[in-house]
A and B are shown apart, each in its own frame.
Chain A
Amino acid sequence: MIPAAFAYDRPTTVDQAVGLLAAHPGAAKVIAGGQSLLPLLKLRLARAERLIDIGRLSELKGVRRTAEGGVSIGALTTYDELGRDPLITTYGLMADVLPQIGDVQVRNRGTIGGAVAHADPASDMPAVLLALEAELVARSIRGVRTIPMRGFLRGPFVTAIEPDEILTEIRIPAPSGAYGSAYRAIEQPASGYAIAGAAVVVGRSGGGSGPLDRCAVALTGVGEMPYRAAAVEAAFLGAAGPAAAAAHATDGVTVGSDIHADRAYRAAVAAVEVRRALEAAIARAG
């Protein structure tokens, strides 16, 4: 299969890349690792008149610690690079999720920026970043702006990124106090995508041995886009145990149904994965 013909640019700086996007409004699309875009172009489910290959922009690669103690991830950092970076795998849920995404070939090419920008409703990384309360940095010729992960996803395959913007960076805030995190998912065996996946971060703001008074829970694969499960978080902070809190996993959500999992089954496994992720995160918080 061959995509419809397109023009091809490979800018060498982010400035050039956003300049090209602005010069071809509505006609140009960026390509990073191509692990989502190329299959769509080949099947001609998507078309692009012009591809702007940002894959070589070294300014957008790599992980570094920020002055505030969090981490900054370049949008072009691959899953494989993330999985081998101790700044990343120290987050329990990152160590859980990274080896599970796709296969080694996909992880060698697929980038974190591409995963978030693509916003597949069943993809793993957006849920992880929701639970970590990440911020995204987007750049265009109009300037740079920061977008909280919460509010970034607008629907299946729809995000807050404007057509002339490039996602440059993902920032994860420093965890305050003692915390533990985990990711648990049941995957559709052939595609590897989540039927239901749960990302959990729990913490004690004061450290020490007090009660866990912080809780962020995000799900993917369940509704029309990954979401924060506010009802689970409230129940957990109201001292419900993991199982009782997890029972609220799909409160207020229209649960999806497809040939792999009908609505009732998907809702049931969503609750199970939330409970498992909560239990693992609590154990890791110590």
Chain B
Amino acid sequence: MTEAITLVVNGVHHELEVEPRRMLVQVIREDLDLTGTHIGCDTSQCGACTVLVDGQAVKSCTMLAVQADGSSITTIEGMANDGQLHPLQVGFWEKHGLQCGFCTPGMIMAAADLLARNPDPTDQEIRHAIEGNVCRCTGYQNIVAAIREAASLMAAGGTSAGAAG
């Protein structure tokens, strides 16, 4: 048995038929082919699957696709605008905020939620905001620096966080 749902993902409207037991992350990756959103733990712990649902960071492995019916969703693919990287992507690039990159999409989406609420966070606030995101490579230092860099880029007139969708 399937349910009809509507999702606006990165500004694109989708009408989908989904089994109620499927998670949002599966629909994003398998039905919409947006594989930038990763599955790390699949048990709500690591944050690799973080996307924005109506502007709020959510672990998409812990939300049913049917629960998201009617929502606007932003994934990592929706961050760059017309080939121009989002300030968070620039920050991660410039400050070496990634090594293997597995955690990065989730980190960036969690950071987008933070910067939308708090455009000038302290390092401590940044660390608190990415508490639900695990990185096995960087030791977090450069991730914090990257998010701080994005905040300054945005203050200097870049795009606002959580843009598309």
Contact = CB atoms under 8 A, between A and B. Distances in A.
B63 to A, nearest CB: 6
Contacts of B64: 8, 31, 34, 38, 53
Contact of B59 (A7, A55, A99, A105): A105
Interface size class of A (residues with CB under 8 A): 20 to 34
Interface string A74-117: 00000010000000000000000001001111101100000000
Nearest to B54: A108
Contacts of B66: 8, 10, 53
A109 B58 contact: yes
Nearest to B57: A105
B3 A108 contact: no
B128 A99 contact: yes
Contacts of A43: 43
A105 B51 CA distance: 9
Contacts of B21: 2-6, 41
B76 to A, nearest CB: 15
Contact of A51 (B20, B59, B113, B131): B20
Interface of A: 1-8, 10, 31, 34-35, 38-39, 41-43, 51, 53, 55, 80, 99, 102-106, 108-109, 190, 192
Given A38-B64, A103-B131, 4 more contacts: A5-B20, A8-B66, A10-B69, A104-B114
Given A38-B63, A104-B57, A6 B22 contact: no
B62 A104 contact: no
Nearest to A9: B20
A104 B63 contact: no
Contacts of A3: 21
Contacts of B1: 5, 7
Interface residues of B, number: 32
B17 to A, nearest CB: 13
Given A2-B23, A103-B132, A39 B43 contact: yes
B22 A2 contact: yes
Given A42-B42, A104-B110, A109 B63 contact: yes
B132 A106 contact: yes
Nearest to A2: B21
B129 A104 contact: yes
B15 to A, nearest CB: 17
Residue picked from B19, B20, B45, B47, most chain A C-beta under 10 Å:
B20
A185 to B, nearest CB: 15
B62 A35 contact: yes
B41 to A, nearest CB: 10
A2 B1 CA distance: 15
A34 B129 CA distance: 21
A41 B42 CA distance: 12
A39 B42 CA distance: 9
